[in-house]
A and B are shown apart, each in its own frame.
Chain A
Amino acid sequence: MKHRLKSILCPVVVTAMLLCMAVACGTTSIEENSNTVEEEIIEKEPIVVGFSQLGAESDWRSANTQSMKSSFTGLDGYTMIFDDGQQKQANQIMAIRKFIQQEVDYIVLAPVTENGWDTVLQEAKDANIPVIIVDRRVNVEDESLFVCWIGSDFELEAQKATEWLHQYAENKKIPAQDIHIVNIQGTLGASAQIGRTKGLQDAAEKYGWDLLAEVTGDFTQTKGKEVMKSLLQEYDNINVVYCENDNEALGAIEALEEAGKKVGSNLINGEVMVISFDGINEKARSYVQEGKISCIAECNPLLGPLVRVAIDTVESGGVPNKYYYVNEEIFSANPNITSVTVDKKEYPVTIVAK
C-alpha cells in the first residue's frame, strides 16, 4: 500500500517542482518584458494588426491574403499577425480571442459566415480593440461592434455583367428569348454566390432571357468542367455560360472545346459566350484578350491598402466610412460597349486590346 502511495505521489511531486519553476521563470520574464517594452516605446512601438483570414480556397483568397500581408510588412511601423481559419468559424473565434490576449492594436476579420459573431466581437470591444471586417459581412445586432466593413458589392458585379450582355444583345439585335443561359454557381451559401446568382435571376426576369439551369461548380476548375459537360448533354441550345468565378470559366471552356463548340461572342454564328467574375487568374485575363471569355466583372482582392487607410484614419482620430465598396472594373475585348449603366450610374468598361 505504501509502495502504491509513493507511485501516486511521484508525478505530483514532479509537477509541483515544475510549477515552482514555471512561476520563477514567469516572474523573471515579466521583468525582461517590461524592459523591452520601455526600449520599444523609445523607438516608437509598431502598430500590431491581427488578421483572421477564413481560409485559402481560391486564387482570389490567396491574392487577398497576399495583399494584406504586403500592406503590413513590419517595415514602416505596422506589423501583422496572420491566422488561417481553415473554413471553420470556431477557429476564427479562437484566433480573435488569441489576438485579444496578445493585445494587438487592431483586429481585421474576413468572416467565413455572417452569423454568430456577437459574443467574440463584444469581447474585442470590451478590450477596446477596433475591429475591421473585410470581404464577407457580419450580421450583428449592435453595429458599433465593428469600425467598418470593406469589400465588394457582389450584386453590383452581377448587374454590371448582365447589363453588358443586355447591351450586347441589343447591339446585335438578338431577341431576348434566343438567349439561353446556364449558370455555373459558386459554393452555395457564399456571399459571392448569393449576390451573383441574384443579379442574374433579376436580369433574366427583367429582360426575358431563357435561364436554362443553375448548378453549383464550387468555384473550382475541375467541378466547372464536370458541370459544363453534363449540362451540354442535357441541353443542346446553350449559347451563354455564366460562371461565378474565373476558375469555373476555365473549366467550362475546356468542356465546351472538347465537345467541339466554338467559344466566343458571335452568338449568331453559333458560338457560345462565356461571362465570368473575379479577373485575378492570369489565364482568364489572357482569354479575355483572345475573346474566349467575352466579359469579366472584376472582384478586387487588393483590400490591404484600403484596410491600411481605414486604420490610419482611426489612428488620427477620424471615423472611416461604415461600408466601403472597393472600386471594381469590368473587362472585355469588345470595342463597341464602352460603358454599362446600373441604377442610373455609369461604369466604364476597360477594353482589353487584342
Chain B
Amino acid sequence: MSKNANTNKVRLGDKMKNMTDTNLLLTITIVVFFLMYIGAVVFQGKGFLKPQTFLNILNANAALIIVSCGLSLVMITGGIDISVGGVVALISMCCAVWLDRKGGNVFTAVLIALGIGLLFGIVQGFLVAYLDIQPFIVTLAGMFFARGMTTIVNTNPFNVENEEFGALKAARIIIPGLGSTTKKGIYVNAYIEIGVVVALLVVLVMFCLLRWTKLGRSFYAVGGNQQSALMLGINVRRTKFLSHVLCGLLAGIGGFVYFMHVGSGSPSHASGMEMNAIASSIIGGTMLTGGVGNIIGTFFGVLSLSTIQNIVSSAGLDQAWWTGITIAAMLCLFLVIQSVVMARKKKSGGKK
C-alpha cells in the first residue's frame, strides 16, 4: 500500500515536470484555494460549512469574475487594463439614470452597458495595438475618463426604483438540496443570483476560446514572444486589439451584473475593482509578463481573494486594513511560489 503511494508520488512529481507552465500554476491556485477553504471550515467551522456561504461568495463576486476574465485575457497577451473599475462605475451610473430618470427598459439598459464596454475596448485597443502606446498609460487615461464621466452623468448616489429592474434584481435561482436549517429550526433555501449564471457562462466560453480556438492560441503566442508570433504569421496588432475589445465587452457585461447586484448608481462604485481583478488574475496563475494564464485559474483567484476576506473578518480581525494586509501577503506568496516553481522547473527539466 505504502509502496503504491510512493510510486504515485513519484509519478506526480514527473507529471509536474511535464506540465505546461499554465497548468502548473493553475494546479497551485486550485490546491491553495481548497486548502484555505478546508482550513476555514476546520478552524472557524459553522458558517463556512454551509453551502450558502460559498454561494454568497459567488453572488457577491459575479461581476468581479467576469471583469477578471477580461483582464486575464489582456494580461495573457502581455498587456494590462486598469480602466475596468471606472467602466463598471460608469455603466452602473448610466444604467441607473436610464432606468430611473429617463424611464428606459431593462433590455435597452443591457445594450447601453454592452455599448459602453465595447466602446472603451475598441478605443483603447486601437490606441494600444495600432498606435503602439503603452497599455498602462492608455487605460490609465481611460480610468480617469470613465470616473470623470460617471460624476458628470450624475453626482449623487441614488437607488433605482424601476419595477421591471427590481424584479430582475430580486430574482433568485434556488438550488434544491443545499439549503440548511438554522438553530431556530427554520429551513433557509440555498440560492444564487442571475449574475452568477452569467459569470459561469462567461468563464466557460472564455475557457473554450482560449483552449480550442485559433484566436485563443494566438493570445498566448503574442504574450509569450511577440517576435516569434510575428514570424509565425500571427497578426500581432489585430490580436492585441481583439484582446482589448473582448476585455471591454466583458467589462460591459460585468458592469451590468454589478449594477444588477447593487441596484444603484454612485461615483464611488467599483472603486479598486481593477486592482482586485489584477490580483485575482495573478493569484490565478496569470503572469504579468504575458503568455501564461488560465481562465479557470482566474475564477479560483477571485474565490481565493474573497474567501480570505471572509476568513479575516470572521477571525475577529475587524479593522479594514487587515484585509488589505492579508491580500498583500497572499499576492506576495503567490508571486514567490510562481517564480520558485518556474525556476526549479527550468533547472531540473530543461525539456518541455
Interface residues of A (CB under 8 A from B): 3, 6-8, 10-11, 14-15, 18-19, 21-22, 25-26, 29-30, 32-33, 56, 81-84, 86-90, 94-95, 97-98, 100-103, 113, 115-116, 119, 126-128, 188-189
Contact with A90, one of B56, B186, B262 (Cβ below 8 angstroms): B262
CB contacts (< 8 Å) of A6 on chain B: these are: 15, 18
Do the beta carbons of B19 and A116 come within 8 Å of each other? no
Proximity bits, B10-28, A CB within 8 Å = 1, else 0: 0010011011100100110
B268 close to A116 (CB less than 8 A): no
* A11 close to B38 (CB less than 8 A): no
> CB-nearest residue of chain B relative to A94?
B60
Q: Are A127 and B156 in contact (CB under 8 A)?
A: no
B30 within 8 A of A: yes
B186 touches A127 (CB 8 A): yes
Q: Judge whether B53 is part of the interface by a CB distance below 8 angstroms.
A: yes
Given contacts A84-B319, A127-B188, A128-B182, contact A98 B47 (CB under 8 A): yes
- Decide yes or no: A82 and B318 within 8 Å by CB, A7-B18, A25-B42, A29-B41 being known contacts: yes
Q: Does B183 contact A (CB under 8 A)?
A: yes
Chain B residues proximal to chain A, CB less than 8 Å: 12, 15-16, 18-20, 23, 26-27, 30-31, 34-35, 37-38, 41-42, 45-47, 49-50, 52-53, 56, 59-60, 156-159, 169-170, 182-184, 186, 188, 261-264, 268, 310, 313-314, 316, 318-320
Bound CA–CA A188/B52 (angstroms): 37
With contacts A7-B23, A10-B23, A86-B320 taken as known, whether A98 is within 8 angstroms of B46 at the C-beta atoms is: no
Question: B268 touching A88 by the CB < 8 A rule?
Answer: yes
CB<8 Å pairs between A and B, sample of 17:
A7-B20, A11-B27, A14-B27, A18-B38, A19-B34, A26-B41, A81-B316, A88-B268, A95-B313, A97-B56, A97-B60, A98-B56, A100-B188, A116-B264, A126-B188, A127-B188, A189-B157
> Which 8 A-B residue pairs are closest in the complex by CB-CB distance?
A115-B159, A102-B47, A82-B318, A18-B34, A11-B27, A101-B47, A101-B53, A116-B159
Residues of A within 8 A of B320 (CB): 56, 84, 86
Known: A8-B23, A83-B313, A101-B52. A15 touches B264 (CB 8 A): no
Contact B49 A29 (CB under 8 A): yes
CB within 8 Å for A11 and B26 given contacts A25-B38, A25-B42, A101-B52:
yes
How close is A332's CB to chain B, nearest CB, in angstroms?
Answer: 35
- In the complex the two chains form, what is the Cα distance from A82 to B318 in whole Å? 6
Shortest B7–chain A CB gap in Å is: 15
Q: How far is the CB of B75 from chain A (nearest CB, A)?
A: 20
Interface pair B47/A15, CB less than 8 Å apart: no
Query: Cβ of B316 and Cβ of A103 under 8 Å apart?
Result: no
Distance from A17 Cβ to chain B, minimum over Cβ atoms (Å): 9
In the bound assembly, the distance between CA atoms of A86 and B20 in angstroms comes to 41
Q: Chain A contacts of B318 at CB under 8 A?
A: 82-84
Please determine whether A101 and B268 come into contact, CB atoms closer than 8 angstroms: no
Bound-complex Cα distance A32 to B52 (A): 21
* A98 x B314 contact (CB < 8 A): yes
Q: Are A101 and B56 in touch, CB under 8 angstroms? A: yes
In Å, the complex CA distance between A308 and B186 comes to: 25
Q: How far is the CB of B281 from chain A (nearest CB, A)?
A: 17
Rounded to whole angstroms, the CA-CA distance of A26 and B50 in the bound complex is 10
Which residues of A lie under 8 Å from residue B188 when comparing CB positions? 100, 126-127
A residues within 8 A CB of B18? Answer: 3, 6-7
Are A119 and B41 neighbours in the complex by a CB distance under 8 Å?
no
Q: How far is the CB of B277 from chain A (nearest CB, A)?
A: 16
Q: Select A33's contact among B46, B314, B319, beta carbons within 8 Å.
A: B46
New A-B contacts (20) at CB < 8 Å, excluding given A26-B49, A29-B49: A8-B23, A25-B41, A32-B45, A97-B56, A97-B59, A98-B47, A98-B53, A98-B56, A98-B313, A100-B188, A101-B47, A101-B52, A101-B53, A101-B56, A102-B314, A115-B158, A115-B264, A126-B188, A128-B182, A188-B156
Contact of A89 (CB < 8 Å), options: B23, B170, B264, B310: B264
Given A10-B23, A15-B34, A84-B318, the answer on whether A116 and B263 have CB atoms closer than 8 Å is yes
Task: Kindly list chain A residues whose C-beta atoms are within 8 Å of the C-beta of B313.
Answer: 83, 95, 98
Contact B268 A87 (CB under 8 A): yes
A81-B316, A119-B170 as given contacts; A10 in contact with B27, CB under 8 Å:
yes
Knowing A6-B15, A116-B264, A126-B186 are in contact, say whether A33-B37 is a contact too (CB < 8 A).
Answer: no
Please name all residues of chain A whose beta carbon is closer than 8 Å to the beta carbon of B156 when the two chains form the complex: 188-189
Of A103, A116, A119, A189, the contact of B46 (CB 8 Å cutoff): A103
Chain A residues whose C-beta falls within 8 Å of the C-beta of B159 in the assembled complex: 113, 115-116
Q: Is the CB of B38 within 8 A of A22?
A: yes
Contacts known (A102-B46, A115-B264, A128-B182); A94 close to B56, Cβ less than 8 A? yes
